[in-house]
Structure 1
Amino acid sequence: MEMMKNPMRRIMQISWRNSRKSLKRKDGDDDDNFYDAVGEPSADNNGNISDTTDPPPPPSSDTDSTVDGSQCDSYIPTPFYRLPSSAQTSPLSKSPWSSYTEPPDPAATDTSGDYVGLMTSLVREEGHIYSLAASGDLLYTGSSSKNIRVWKSQKEYSGFKAHSGLVKSIVLSGDKIFTGHQDGKIRVWKALTRDPKVHKKIGTLPSFGSVIKKSMIPNNYTEMWRNRSGIWIKHFDAISSLSLNEDGTLLYSGSWDKTMKVWRVSDFECLESISAHEDVINSVVAGFNGFVFSGSADGTLKVWRKESQGKRPKHYFSHTLLKQEFAVTSLAVNRTAMVVYAGCSDGIVQFWEQEKLIHGGLLRGHKLAVLCLAASGTMVFSGAADKKICVWQRDDGGAHKCLYVLNGHTGPVKCLAVEEEERGGGNGRCILYSGSLDKSVKIWKMCTQMSPRSNQQLPPPSPQRIDGSRPGGKESPNNLLSFLHRRGSQWIT
């Protein structure tokens, strides 16, 4: 009898192991899903999409509260059906976004009387914010949770998700959305025409077919595997930066594999692969007059020039703008004024201007590494590991002064996006979005011309300091942002 039991046990163990392997294969597929904020579509085996519906909430619910006039949910764990519908359809239902509308400060106004300062805080427990992109009233946010959220008019609108590779960069090109990921891939998304809330993945750069095609060409094969200088169309480490050229026909990608690649937007073909630096590339940005700039942890800022050769562009190394001990951590370009800005790990922002790229000076406003830069009109924004954002204004002579210092993030400021307001008068109004490793996004309203009374207690050279932390001394148990302040920031490398 005992001998009969042992074979049966072995058969049961083998069957159990096979079922586990089958489940792992299904769960491990590198498939990218998409969903919206109202109902999350699910696909069957044939690829047909069907909308799921939210379970009805109970008649009475006391888990939702109102903070500053906007609805948010309690951080205290609650049953799934008692969360708001947007939270129920979230990829991580236990960590929904919460939006807090900030009360305006009457003293913070511009010359026309409009409010200047923090407008809204978007907070979640889903992951660190690594990337932002804005277009009109739409905001795209990427994080370490692999989700890309879409916000419209500061409210959750839709989203989509890649099953591998946290989202380190987002750029928008017409109706296409390019996302760069930790796994070395660039994914391309598009909103469906019949339902703009639903996004579908339309491509991956590079595609499997293009990799096979390139490797089958004898010349490319020899160069790739012997000289290591041929067309490597695949990034072998994280995508750190994406940038579009002036007319939106070319996409540049920088990676931790030390290479910069050039992609054609129309058909997603890799046109060039450049071994650009001796260490990881932190930022790549397409500039003016065919210039492309790349900044690296090797301490150099290099300039590349695009030249057309028939139907294919070719990029050549021009010169090195900066060579130093400290890493170049971020780049931004003002194409209209022809100025390029470089943030460094020593907390200093350097800039070069005009077509000859003459060194213009240094901007000293941070104590730690400058992790992100953005430029709009005459304004330049710098976010750093010291949790602050400095807002600079450039005058006609090229001199810069710090207008504001924005406080409120409890972690390093990792990404910035700016969108100009469509208003006449040329008074420099814009909306600034800041993403941080404190898992929040803050939305600021900025203007180059502040009312004199708002800065009357500060000497003229001093910037206006705007406190973006939540007001009030008492913390509400339903206030998720207060929870983050109590908890402190989580640092990741």
Structure 2
Amino acid sequence: MKDSDDEGAGDGVNRPHTSNNLPLPAPHSDPNLQFSGGTDDESSNRDSSSSATGGASPGYYSDYPSSFSGECSPYNMSPWNQTMASPWSHHSEPAGLGGGPPTMAPGTSLISSLVREEGHIYSLAAKGDTLYTGSDSKNIRVWRKQKDSGGFKSSSGLVKAIVMSGERIFTGHQDGKIRVWKVSAKNGMHKRVGSLPRLRDFLRGSLNPSNYVEVRKNRSALWIRHSDAVSCLSPTDPAQGLLYSGSWDRTFKVWRISDSKCLESVVAHDDNVNSVVAAFDGLVFTGSADGTVKVWRREQQGKGTKHTAVQTLLKQEHAVNALAVSAVAPVLYCGSSDGLVNFWEGDRHLVHGGVMRGHKKAVFCLAAAGALLLSGSADNTIFVWRRDCGVHSCLSVLTGHTEPIRCIAVVEDNGENSSESNAGDSAGGGGSSASRWIVYTGSLDKSIKVWRVTDEAPDPLFHGSGDAPQIFDRYPGDAFGASGSTTSFR
């Protein structure tokens, strides 16, 4: 059954908060886009932004439309426009970052650049040879084998997150909504099949005053609907069938995919939730603009769930922008606005393992693949890190974007997900046993770059020092090592 994008309601005990808001750019039209069934009944001028910037701004529920000029683009007005000086901004440029050739390991190369003038790229999701890209044009573009294959759009809401679970595609938007899409078996077109929460839940829940919570002074809303931008999404494995959504309203919510029901809403942080990751052993990790990383344990409670905070891994002044979990070991990575990547190790109780230094500006996105971790930054670079026996090394620095890297997606290179499947084989070593990956990086320069990355590197660019090989305190071109940062853990 197809639902409209109206608000919904459900059962739960935790209540959300909200943050401040911004307007959206004017709607973008594209004759090649597919228009889904159903309507979005909210004004496209409603938008959100980080409360981390401080001060008052037009509310999410504002009835006054706004327009954009060049000075107030989504990037310039967003919390990702980090202008703070990095602790190591005085260092010399690494090789490849000052106009020279990129510093990349053998077998790693740039395959292609996908450009369509639709706006800044904020989200990516890849599966097989298909790539979905989201931008501030409200469009979701579809690429197959790196060729434009059309797209689909909603009538409002910058696309901040895209994930896939089974046959469904979930998109998180700046207007606080989660939209659900499916590919038609008849014609291959994408069709919106619902939204989270559902209209029926909204109608049922709106009759009960106890389902309303205060989201700002003198303003209330149904608790199962995010009252600010949906910043991140994370599905569990199909057996569990859950979807987590994090928002700038400071909450994360738990959805049951089978019936689109909201099971729980958790007030998780004192500021925007920028990243949520459903991980191993029933653990869920959240990172926030309040500078903390928290660990939550999921337990079944009747037909619903109950999440309990069990550990605070990080507490600092700098915003946490991204989290990622290793695919081959119980390791959590955290990228933050000070340019650092912290990591923790352990099955049930995580212990701080070290800090990976190298980026000169804020780290906005992370992606894990096999033994690799990729980090994208406001310094316009992507670093490729490899974990080997608990020790991390930087294999490559990928350069080519001209604006901050906002998102990364990775799929295994099986020779079918590239329009140049045979390209780079010689560089990759032919019969080498090294794993190879296709990496997509989206940037505020409005482009997506496609890389072939290998985890084989005989001479890592970054090396540990002394008795703490996991603490990386230097990068190419830096003869002395980056100065340490003051960070408290508990």
Q: Sort the TM-score into its range (normalised by shorter chain).
A: 0.5 to 0.7
Report deviation, 1:263: 0.7
| 1:314 pairs with 2:324 | no
Residues 224 and 231, structure 1, Cα contact 8 Å, conserved in 2: no
Q: Distance in 1 between matches of 2:392 and 2:364?
A: 19
Which residue identity is paired with 1:319?
A: Q
The match for 2:444 is: 437
Q: Distance in 2 between matches of 1:420 and 1:327?
A: 31
| 1:359 pairs with 2:366 | no
Q: Distance in 2 between matches of 1:188 and 1:166?
A: 15
| 1:207 pairs with 2:198 | yes
Report deviation, 1:463: 7.7
Q: Distance in 1 between matches of 2:119 and 2:359?
A: 25
Describe the shift of the 1:272–1:35 C-alpha distance in structure 2 as closer, same or farther (beyond 3 A): farther
3-state SS in 2 of match to 1:156:
strand
The match for 1:237 is: 228
Which residue identity is paired with 2:179?
A: R
Which residue identity is paired with 1:434?
A: T
Q: Which of 285, 303, 325 pairs up with 2:295? A: 303
The match for 1:180 is: 172
| Unmatched 5+ stretches in structure 1 | 1-30, 46-104, 466-493
Q: How does 1:187-266 map to 2 (within 5 A)?
A: 187-196=179-188, 198-217=189-208, 219-220=210-211, 232-247=223-238, 249-266=241-258
The match for 1:150 is: 142
Q: How does 1:382-461 map to 2 (within 5 A)?
A: 382-396=375-389, 398-422=390-414, 427-450=434-457
3-state SS in 2 of match to 1:180:
strand
| Unmatched 5+ stretches in structure 2 | 1-26, 40-100, 416-430, 465-473, 478-490
3-state SS in 2 of match to 1:210:
helix
Q: Distance in 2 between matches of 1:350 and 1:44?
A: 43
Q: Distance in 2 between matches of 1:275 and 1:229?
A: 15
Q: Distance in 2 between matches of 1:415 and 1:161?
A: 19
Q: Distance in 2 between matches of 1:195 and 1:35?
A: 18
Describe the shift of the 1:403–1:312 C-alpha distance in structure 2 as closer, same or farther (beyond 3 A): same
Which structure would you say has the larger Rg?
1
In the alignment of these two chains, the number of paired residues is 363
The match for 1:346 is: 338
Report deviation, 1:315: 1.2
Describe the shift of the 1:223–1:182 C-alpha distance in structure 2 as closer, same or farther (beyond 3 A): closer
| 1:381 pairs with 2:374 | yes
Measured against aligned partners, the alpha-carbon deviations of 1:450-476 in whole angstroms (never above 9, x if no partner) come to: 4x6xx79x89889899xxxxxxxxxxx
Q: Distance in 2 between matches of 1:393 and 1:252?
A: 28
Which residue identity is paired with 2:262?
A: C
Measured against aligned partners, the alpha-carbon deviations of 1:367-390 in whole angstroms (never above 9, x if no partner) come to: 111000000110000000010100
Measured against aligned partners, the alpha-carbon deviations of 1:349-403 in whole angstroms (never above 9, x if no partner) come to: 001112121111000010111000000110000000010100000002x110100
Describe the shift of the 1:206–1:178 C-alpha distance in structure 2 as closer, same or farther (beyond 3 A): same
Residues 36 and 152, structure 2, Cα contact 8 Å, conserved in 1: no
Describe the shift of the 1:221–1:353 C-alpha distance in structure 2 as closer, same or farther (beyond 3 A): same
Q: Distance in 1 between matches of 2:388 and 2:164?
A: 29
Describe the shift of the 1:413–1:459 C-alpha distance in structure 2 as closer, same or farther (beyond 3 A): closer
Describe the shift of the 1:165–1:225 C-alpha distance in structure 2 as closer, same or farther (beyond 3 A): closer
Q: Distance in 1 between matches of 2:108 and 2:403?
A: 23
Larger relative contact order, structure 1 or 2 (CA cutoff 8 Å, min sep 6): 2
Q: Distance in 2 between matches of 1:182 and 1:221?
A: 21
Report deviation, 1:36: 5.8
Report deviation, 1:208: 2.7
Q: Distance in 2 between matches of 1:429 and 1:169?
A: 25
Which residue identity is paired with 1:126?
A: E
3-state SS in 1 of match to 2:281:
coil
Report deviation, 1:319: 1.7
Report deviation, 1:246: 2.9
3-state SS in 1 of match to 2:403:
coil
Residues 170 and 181, structure 2, Cα contact 8 Å, conserved in 1: yes
Describe the shift of the 1:199–1:382 C-alpha distance in structure 2 as closer, same or farther (beyond 3 A): same
The match for 2:276 is: 284
Report deviation, 1:224: 9.6
Residues 297 and 329, structure 1, Cα contact 8 Å, conserved in 2: yes
The match for 2:425 is: none
The structure that is helix-richer by fraction is: 1
Describe the shift of the 1:32–1:439 C-alpha distance in structure 2 as closer, same or farther (beyond 3 A): closer
Which residue identity is paired with 2:285?
A: F
Describe the shift of the 1:335–1:313 C-alpha distance in structure 2 as closer, same or farther (beyond 3 A): farther
Q: Distance in 2 between matches of 1:439 and 1:379?
A: 26
Describe the shift of the 1:43–1:231 C-alpha distance in structure 2 as closer, same or farther (beyond 3 A): closer
Q: Distance in 2 between matches of 1:164 and 1:237?
A: 14
3-state SS in 1 of match to 2:385:
strand
Residues 28 and 137, structure 2, Cα contact 8 Å, conserved in 1: no
Which residue identity is paired with 1:151?
A: W
Residues 146 and 161, structure 1, Cα contact 8 Å, conserved in 2: yes
Residues 212 and 223, structure 2, Cα contact 8 Å, conserved in 1: no
Q: Distance in 1 between matches of 2:453 and 2:29?
A: 36
Q: How does 1:20-31 map to 2 (within 5 A)?
A: none
Measured against aligned partners, the alpha-carbon deviations of 1:169-199 in whole angstroms (never above 9, x if no partner) come to: 0000111000000000000000100111x11
RMSD over aligned CA atoms reads 3.4
The match for 1:477 is: none
Describe the shift of the 1:225–1:271 C-alpha distance in structure 2 as closer, same or farther (beyond 3 A): farther
Report deviation, 1:223: 9.8
Q: TM-score by structure 2 length?
A: 0.68
Residues 421 and 429, structure 1, Cα contact 8 Å, conserved in 2: yes
Q: Distance in 2 between matches of 1:345 and 1:250?
A: 29
Which residue identity is paired with 1:383?
A: G
